[in-house]
Amino acid sequence: MRKPGVIAFPVLLVLGAITGFIAYNLLIVGATPKVGEVQSPYRKDIPVAGSITEKPVAAEVDKSKFSNVVKIDILAGAVTQGNPDYGPEPAKVSSDALITWVNRDSAPHSATSGTGFDDPDFGQLFDSGILEMGQEYSIPASELGTGEHPYFCIVHPYMTSTIVVE
Ligand SMILES: [Cu+2]
């Protein structure tokens, strides 16, 4: 009678190789993302030119019609969480004013109405879309209506502020 290991050893070797091959293909090759290929069912393409909200980009506002222009700076360094983001904060404006956000930071930002992505109405009242450094966005305060209007940055949702129309 042969020793039991004479058959069992090569069998175990082959089983080990098969297990290794399957595990490698399943867990390493199969799970490694490929460039330009997204398999997630949650993938949703973001329109590049506009914003993630459906709000159409506002037409150019005729600034000469407004004697009262309130500027809100998106402050340099706002990209870092914890830094001052929008200034002044909150911004108080009268209803005849034109509100203009200017991005003073090197990172792209937005001024988008709502308290954040949890807010089902975010972006409905106003949405600047992505503002690169130096770009600005204006909206007449009369379009917002009186009251407190929270807004945030869709790129960095920790950037939140409020505009108060009186
Ligand atoms: Cu931002």
Mean pLDDT by 10 residues, the chain (166 residues): 80 94 87 74 61 62 89 96 94 95 96 94 93 94 95 95 96
Question: Are 135 and 102 members of one domain?
Answer: yes
Confidence (pLDDT) at 160: 96
In this structure, the answer to whether residues 141 and 98 fall within a common structural domain is: yes
* Residues 75, 9 within the same domain: no
What is the Å distance from ligand 1's center to 79 Cα?
6
CA torsion, points 137, 85, 80, 155, in degrees to nearest 10?
-40
Per-residue model confidence (pLDDT) at position 52: 65
Same domain? 114 vs 149: yes
In a domain, 161, yes or no: yes
Q: Looking at the structure, tell me whether residues 88 and 14 fall in a common domain.
A: no
User: What is the Å distance from ligand 1's center to 159 Cα?
Assistant: 6
53 inside domain = no
pLDDT, residue 130, reads: 93
- Residues 83 and 35 grouped into a single domain: no
Q: How much is the pLDDT for 55?
A: 60
Say which CATH number the domain at 98 has: 2.60.40.420
For residues 24 and 77, state if they share a domain: no
Query: Does residue 47 form part of some domain?
Result: no
**Distance (Å) from CA 78 to ligand 1 centroid:** 7
Task: Say yes or no: 5 and 71 in one domain.
Answer: no
| Complete edge-to-edge strand list for the sheet that includes strand 160-165 | 91-93, 160-165, 147-152, 112-113
pTM for the full predicted model: 0.67
Q: What is the pLDDT of residue 57?
A: 60
Number of domains in the chain: 2
| Full residue range of the structural domain in which residue 19 is found | 1-42
User: 75 and 153: one domain?
Assistant: yes
State in Å: Cα 33 to ligand 1 middle: 28
37 and 68 both lie in a single domain? no
- Same domain flag for 69 and 139: yes
